[in-house]
Amino acid sequence: MAFGLLKSDYGADGFRTCGVTGLKIHRSAEVPIKLFGLTAVVALIVGGIAALLVALTRWEAVGILGPPDFYKFLSLHAWNLLIFWMVFMEIAILYVGGPIVLGRRLPWSGLAKAGWGIMLGSALLIEYAILTTTPPDNQPLLTSYAPLQSSPEFYLGAILFILGAVIAALPFFWCIWQEKRENRGKTLPLVTFGAFITGIIAVEALVGGLVTYVPTYLWRIGVVAEIDAAWYRHMYWIIGHGSQQINLVAMITVWYFMTYLTAGAEVVSEKISRAAFILYLFFINMGAAHHLMADPVLSSQWKMWNTSYAVYGAVIASLIHAFAIPAGLEAGRRKRGLGGDTWFGWLRTAPWHDPGFSATVWSIVLFGFLGGITGVLMGQMQLNTLRHNTMAVPGHFHGTVAVGTTLAFMGLLYYVIKLFFNKDWVFEKLARLQPHLYAAAMSITAMAMMEAGIAYGAPRRDPVTVQIPGTDFNFAAAEPMYALLGVSAILAVLAGVIFIVVAVGSLLFGKEATVTTPVPLSLTGGDRPAHEYSMRGTMAMVLFFLLVFLLFYALDWMWLSRLWEFGT
């Protein structure tokens, strides 16, 4: 059965033509995409189970796990969802963005499979390390902050996983190299360009990871006598935050891809959108500094320059995509005569019943409002002290990763099932409901965490904050937020279960796909270029977004100004 899933009908040259996109798909690319995609879904399942246990512990009235088990499942939750689910998906996205979009073979496909094998083996080693951690070793959580030691197998697993990911990325880069050699002067398609930028940012992050974990492993096994806490933090966040920037850029590439595929979006300006990707390339890794704002050692000049990505280069990029993607949708649909000549008809008549589309749109909107706004607030040196290590931090990254990236990847997977596995969705009604339910539930989960953190200072990474042994202090005031977090997390996990049931059910029992997209991708409407169509609906929405951002910005600074005085 498992091998059957990896098969498709290819021609004698190993290619087949996609019935929807018209893309030429080669077996050497398609098989690894399926392998990486399926593995990512397994990590999503493991991480999702851990998520439920973690949430039901933070909902202290339920308090399902004691402290040692809480940290164990928190570590499993972090590594499976923030790393394994994401990185396996991202390698698949590189292969889609490179060989599939370019209509090429994936060169060195043996390396792709070797990379997959190493990543899978090392992921299992990390799971094993987490499950078998006993004192004096500590659970790594995501950060494994030295000098608090974790088990040697954990560091070794992390090193091998990084190596595996680099190996798996090499065929993608070689594919781009071949394309550029054979077609000199021909511009890469935007999705390929986005994937290429993702790949470069990924390798930067992964090299940072080796710089971190190799010396840390040597320290753990006794080869190196001491490890400096400030050095570790500085190095670790190259991969700690860098890996999340891979998610961001991969997600934005998926946004361009999916809005086009499901709703007929066009690129309104190649120049502006590509410039935004290049801003990411230059500046986004500086975001690693966001984690060091409340640290000693670093000067305020270092902090402000780095945390701002050199005067907000990466924020400008994100704001550009925040306009360009909905504008592409608006102009593309107006061009095709969809939705009439009104402000928002193009959006109202969009295929909201299509889970590929709804997942993508919720990902865009909620990433911006939940993850984006809080990220910029936390990234300001002074405001960071209000949120650092409180529940507001997981609130932020559930806004970016759990709502934004995860939804985008789910939307993509709905189409991977159709276009690559050639299967129709089973339980179609559930599939259509799923992105809406997940978006709503996970948004409330994230907002409950944000509120618990910012309004009550409730700590993250702490299973007991209401009846704390040894002190008469408590965070009982945050209990309504904990309850909200618990209930909404149950619903979000339920939405995740629906996704898994639909995805796995479709793969096993789905009928052969009768593939159509909700909109005609070939142009039926006007022949004017996209940038000449109205984008007023998009402009209204992004202005509203900016207004909301400024409101929260002002609120945060107001609270900070009321605080006791500190610093030089």
Partner 1 sequence: MGSPLESPGGIWWNRKVSGLEKSWVGLAVLTAIILFAWMIGWQQLGAQNPTGPTYSVAPENYQAQVQAYKDAATETEQGLVPAGEDVYIGARQWTWDGVPVVLEVGKEYRFHLSSYDVQHGFGLHRRDKLIEQFNLQVLPGYEWVVPITFKHPGIYDIQCNEFCGVNHRIMYGKIIVE
Question: Interaction with partner 1 in 472-491: which residues (CB under 8 A)?
Answer: 473, 475, 477-478
Cα gap 87→23, rounded to integer Å: 25
173-192: which residues touch partner 1 (CB under 8 A)? 186-191
Q: What is the contact mask toward partner 1 in residues 130 to 149, using x (rule: CB under 8 A)?
A: -----x--x--x-x-x-xx-
> Rounded to the nearest 10 degrees, how much is the dihedral formed by the CA atoms of 5, 6, 11, 16?
80
Q: Determine, following the binding rule CB under 8 A, whether residue 342 of this chain makes contact with partner 1.
A: no
| Residue from 371, 372, 399, 463 in contact with partner 1 (CB under 8 A) | 463
Comparison of 41 and 327: residue with beta carbon closer to partner 1: 327
Amino acid letter, residue 449? M
Q: Determine, following the binding rule CB under 8 A, whether residue 8 of this chain makes contact with partner 1.
A: no
Comparison of 387 and 418: residue with beta carbon closer to partner 1: 387
Q: Determine, following the binding rule CB under 8 A, whether residue 468 of this chain makes contact with partner 1.
A: yes
- Span from 214-222, 325-333, 367-375, 500-508 in contact with partner 1 (CB under 8 A): 325-333
| Phi and psi, residue 183, nearest 5° | -125, 70
Q: Which residue has the tokens 């910029």?
A: 376
Token pair listed for 245: 């920037």
* Size of interface with partner 1, in residues (CB under 8 A): 112
Would you put residue 310 in left (φ > 0), alpha (ψ -120 to 50) or beta?
left
Comparison of 352 and 557: residue with beta carbon closer to partner 1: 557
User: Are residues 290 and 305 in contact, defined by beta-carbon separation less than 8 angstroms?
Assistant: no
Cα gap 111→292, rounded to integer Å: 36
| Residue from 15, 21, 129, 417 in contact with partner 1 (CB under 8 A) | 21
201-230: which residues touch partner 1 (CB under 8 A)? 228-230
Minimum distance from residue 274 beta carbon to partner 1 (Å): 8
Comparison of 30 and 164: residue with beta carbon closer to partner 1: 30
| Residue from 1, 9, 429, 566 in contact with partner 1 (CB under 8 A) | 566
Listed as own residue / partner, the contacts of 535-544 with beta carbons closer than 8 Å and 24 or more positions apart are 535/268, 535/323, 535/327, 535/330, 535/331, 536/343, 537/326, 537/330, 537/343, 537/344, 537/346, 537/347, 538/323, 538/326, 538/327, 538/329, 538/330, 539/323, 540/343, 541/326, 542/319, 542/322, 542/323, 542/326
Cα gap 16→12, rounded to integer Å: 9
386-405: which residues touch partner 1 (CB under 8 A)? 386-390
By C-alpha distance, which of 187, 189, 534 is closest to 328?
A: 534
506-545: which residues touch partner 1 (CB under 8 A)? 521, 529-532, 535-536, 538-539, 542
414-453: which residues touch partner 1 (CB under 8 A)? none
Comparison of 108 and 236: residue with beta carbon closer to partner 1: 236
Comparison of 282 and 559: residue with beta carbon closer to partner 1: 559
Token pair listed for 194: 């986005």
255-314: which residues touch partner 1 (CB under 8 A)? 256-257, 260, 265-272, 292-297, 299-300, 303-304, 307-308, 311-313
Amino acid letter, residue 522? S
Minimum distance from residue 469 beta carbon to partner 1 (Å): 5
